[in-house]
Structure 1
Amino acid sequence: MKRILIGILLACFLIGGCQNKSEEPGIIARVNGKPIYLSQLDYKYDLTHEGSSGFVPSVAQVRGEYGQILGDLIVQELVSQELEQREIPVSDKEMKEAEDEVRSDYPDDSFEQILIEEYIDINSWRSQLKYQLAMDKFYRDILRPEIKIDYKEAEKYYRTHLSDFYMPAGYRFIMVKGMGKDLVLKGVELYREGLSPAAISAKLRKVSVREIWIRSGQIPAAWKTFVEDLEPGKASPVITQKKEVFCLILKEKKEATLLTPLQAYPMVEKVLLEKKLEEKFEAWLKNKMATSNIKISKNLMPELENTVPEVESPETAKAE
């Protein structure tokens, strides 16, 4: 999909044009008349670069990233419009349920507090959440029912990709990391109580929780004495290594094995399904772009160079 999207968007950029003087300020594109705002672009750009303070990108890098983000927004808008046309848009109820699910990972009013601290506008966050729900719904309710996976196709994939289903021996750990021993132990306690990693990080701002997989024979030497005798579900003592303080909870210990066709089927089905969904989506997107009216402000158009390849542009794609 990315290959097709880049080609089509480049075609849109190449057409050129000028900004309509009567256009509402802040609008940087229109998809079949529906506006896309600069604020949406800025929001996704800021999310992409969250945590990368101190890095100053070049003008060319910013233009390139803005172009890619704009492409994503155009696709998301086309998907939303498709759901509207089919009379199955993302409902207010679906939005509320999704937002409530996110909020449930954060105790009390910490969700709003985090948004404030990260300078995230709640309306921009909700707008992007709605786009994501629309994409999920489009794949689930429109594309997925059209796809069938034959057992012979699955068997053939298994036989030709046998090495993919060899599972090496290894350990799956939950790593609880913090600024000190007491914080780490509190994080372990909250994890055992069933709190999600996001909720623990919200409650204990200096603690992070994540899952890691380490193959047998690759466990760091400094960890071996702490984890070699661990049983699943048990936690290591608090480990201090350089400036890091953490604890490891053994979630699973696996022996090397080759999955049988029956055991591998869910993995095979997932791979084949993703491939077919991508093909279906690319076909839909190519047709949709060719029949849509997409206008892009020239203020977002990169300076064209002689090295830019020629791309056949959709007849209805235009730049303002």
Structure 2
Amino acid sequence: MHNRLGISILLLLWGIVSTGHAVIIDRILAKVNDEIITLSQVQEEGYPLLARLQAEFSGKELEARRQQIEEKMLQQLIDRVLQLQQARKLGLSVSEAEVDAALQDILRRNNLTEEELKSILQEEDIDFLDYRQRIEEQLLLAQLLNREVRSKVHVDEEEVEEYYRTHLDQFGSPTRFRIRHILFLVPPQASNGEVEATRKKAIAVLQRIQAGEDFSQLARQYSQDPSAANGGDLGYLKKGEMLPAFEQALAHMRVGEVRGPIRTPYGFHLIRLEEKQGGEEHPPDAVRREIEKILINQKMQKRYQKWMEELRSEAYIEIIR
């Protein structure tokens, strides 16, 4: 049995869906230069989402969400019409051989014969010639986007190096810290005198640690955190998993070092760095292609948005409510 789910996804990717035999009272929703967009086109474009909404919502909630989806689909259709108009204006075209090659690729990737694909399309009330036409449109749009967007995006060496320097945490294993702490609680409504007394108590314990007493034993004796039973051991933590004040202190600590008192919303802490793992950085050359892809995608998104704004500003677009 062939992968029908894959084919269904394929139909959605090509923007080809069937609305079954539902009756749609059609009307014009928009004019884009000399072309129109109808309600039936919008509903066909958003059919999978609209069908899901009807199964999940009802009443005013359904109507509100339906309007949101139809508005989104309308804007997408306006963009597609503008792009196809621009492709024709530039004289771009797709040959029958290119459509045939794309169709054969679809058949090969889905392990189908052409007759089997036609049978599936027929079950979905989709005409095979319409399917070929949409493949042709997609190939034409790919040409256009390559010409107007991708070909105008470039990334130089300095940009790659700058991205690497400012995103080092993306290109290596995250640093993990195994730490112990001793917490001296400060109640939220504590007076200044109580806060100072607690701080002095923390300093006194710190001095005992510096004099050679065992940190874990003192944690069991003095810490007011549940980790006291384990000698203050908090296990392995990464950035984002601990208090910001801990992160700031650990950034400058060596293994075996003790620091404090560190003030947090909970009170005063003494912390000891037991172990440090990870943090190895991949050299720039090893991640250059990955960085280039990231930067190209970012620039392409910006270029695409700017290009579409230009197309829209030069076009006659009328939304008919």
Cα distance in 2 between the residues matched to 1:37 and 1:72? 13
Question: Does residue 293 of the first structure (1) align with residue 294 of the second (2)?
Answer: no
List structure 1 runs of 4+ shifted beyond 6 angstroms: 50-53
How many pairs were matched up? 188
Structure with bigger gyration radius: 2
| 2:149 equivalent among 143, 156, 171 | 143
Other-structure match for 2:298: 275
Tell me which residue corresponds to 1:220.
none
Q: Which residue of 2 aligns with 1:81?
A: 85
Alpha-carbon displacement from aligned partner over 1:203-247 (angstroms, at most 9, x marks no partner): xxxxxxxxxxxxxxxxxxxxxxxxxxxxxxxxxxxxxxxxxxxxx
Higher helix share goes to which structure? 2
Q: 1:291 to 1:163 in 2, by over 3 A?
A: same
> Equivalent pairs: percent with the same residue?
25
Query: Cα deviations across residues 92-132 of structure 1 (Å, max 9, x unaligned)?
Result: 43333222321232423332233234444545544544443
DSSP-derived class of the 1:54 partner: helix
2:112 paired residue number: 107
Preserved CA contact (<8 Å) 1:83 1:134: yes
Q: 1:34 to 1:283 in 2, by over 3 A?
A: same
Q: Structure 1 106/49 Cα, relative in aligned 2: closer, same or farther at 3 Å?
A: farther
Cα distance 1:97–1:286, how it changes in 2: closer, same or farther (>3 A)? same
Q: Is the 8 A contact 2:172 2:282 kept in 1?
A: yes
Q: Distance in 1 between matches of 2:149 and 2:34?
A: 25
Matched residues in 2 for 1:279 and 1:296: separation? 25
| RMSD over equivalenced CA pairs, Å | 3.0
**Residue of 163, 169, 193 corresponding to 1:163:** 169
1:49 to partner: Cα distance? 5.3
Do the aligned partners of residues 30 and 123 (structure 1) sit closer, same or farther apart at CA in structure 2, a change above 3 Å counting? farther
2: distance between equivalents of 1:284 and 1:75? 11
Change (3 A) 1:133 1:38: farther
**2:92, 2:140 within 8 Å by CA — same for their partners in 1?**
no
1:284 aligns with 2:288: no
Displacement, 1:51? Answer: 6.8
1:59 aligns with 2:53: no
1:80·1:89 contact (CA, 8 Å) conserved in 2? no
Contact 1:166 1:258 in 2 (8 A): yes
1:1-320 mapped onto 2 (5 Å cutoff): 27-48=28-49, 54-56=55-57, 58-104=62-108, 105-108=110-113, 109-122=115-128, 125-166=131-172, 258-298=281-321
Following superposition, the deviation at residue 273 of structure 1 comes to 0.8
CA distance in 2, matches of 1:157, 1:31: 40
Q: What's 1:195 paired with?
A: none
Q: Unaligned stretches of 5+ in structure 2?
A: 1-25, 175-277
SS in 1 for 2:112: coil
Q: For residues 128 and 257 of structure 1, what CA distance do their matches in structure 2 show?
A: 48
Q: Deviations over 1:27-75 (max 9, x none)?
A: 4322111233444322221234577773345112111101101111111
Q: Which has the higher contact order (CA 8 A, sep 6+)?
A: 1
TM-score (norm 1): 0.51
Structure 1 stretches of 5 or more lacking a match?
A: 1-24, 169-254, 299-320
- Report the counterpart of residue 233 of structure 1 in structure 2: none
CA gap 1:167/1:121 in 2 versus in 1, 3 angstroms: farther
Q: SS where residue 56 of structure 2 aligns?
A: coil
- Aligned residue for 2:55, secondary structure, equals coil
TM normalised by structure 2 equals: 0.51
Shift of the 258–62 alpha-carbon distance from structure 1 to 2, 3 Å rule, reads same
* Residues 29 and 36, structure 2, Cα contact 8 Å, conserved in 1: yes
